[in-house]
Amino acid sequence: VGCKAILVFFQYGVMANFYWLLVEGLYLHILLVLIFSPNRHFTIYLLIGWGIPTIFIITWTVTRIILEDTGCWDTNEHGGPWWVIRIPILISIIVNFILFVSIIRILLQKLRSPDVGGNDQSQYKRLAKSTLLLIPLFGVHYTVFALFPDRSSNTYKIIFELCLGSFQGLIVAVLYCFLNSEV
């Protein structure tokens, strides 16, 4: 029972990570689109970041108990319970990627406006810098292996996610907190 409880908490942490990335993307997108919005929607963000993973982890736990209650739940012989976790994570990755593309489009429009000074090279340099800064914040690197089957790309996926995913929090903290004079 303890092993299963730890695995449930682990899966909840993984899913909450993806949904908090989605909340960051939603928050930034709303800041850029609705400039003068007095409402900050923090309750909705909390429900998305903690609530949606809770619903799907409870559903996953019930399906594991009903369909595949063997061992410590670390194997996935029956695909049903695994997809209860996998589909919401895939949806959050896809929505976050769409928000990322939309924000890049907004930044490109702002750089092309007549109010922004500088030549084309400096504008594209600013766009490239902004894009590179947004990649770890949105978790865009997860889209690389998101739609591949686990069996075909598992080795490369593990190496890729260990190299980039492990340092994602550090990169975000350095870029957005430690190097930010306002913080």
Distance CA 4, CA 7 (A): 5
Q: Taking the domain 1-178, which CATH number applies?
A: 1.20.1070.10
Residue 137 has pLDDT above 80, yes or no: no
Residue 183 has pLDDT above 60, yes or no: no
Q: What is the pLDDT of residue 119?
A: 63
Q: What is the pLDDT of residue 111?
A: 74
Residue 127 has pLDDT above 80, yes or no: no
- Tens-place pLDDT, residues 73-115: 877 777 778 888 889 998 998 999 899 889 888 888 877 766 6
For residue 134, which of 101, 157, 160, 88 has the smallest C-alpha distance?
101
Residue 55 has pLDDT above 90, yes or no: yes
pTM for the whole structure:
0.78
Instruction: Please compute the mean of the pLDDT values over residues 9-28 and round it to a whole number.
Output: 89
CA distances from 120 to 8, 117, 131 (A): 51, 9, 16
Q: What is the pLDDT of residue 51?
A: 95
Q: What is the pLDDT of residue 16?
A: 92
Tokens of 72: 């410590």
Tokens of 36: 């003068």
Q: What is the pLDDT of residue 173?
A: 73
Spatial neighbors of 60 by CB under 8 A, at least 6 apart, are 8, 11, 81, 84, 85
Q: What is the 3-state secondary structure (H, E, C) of 49-117?
A: HHHHHHHHHHHHHHHHHHHCCCCCCCCCCCHHHHHHHHHHHHHHHHHHHHHHHHHHHHHHHHHHCCCCC
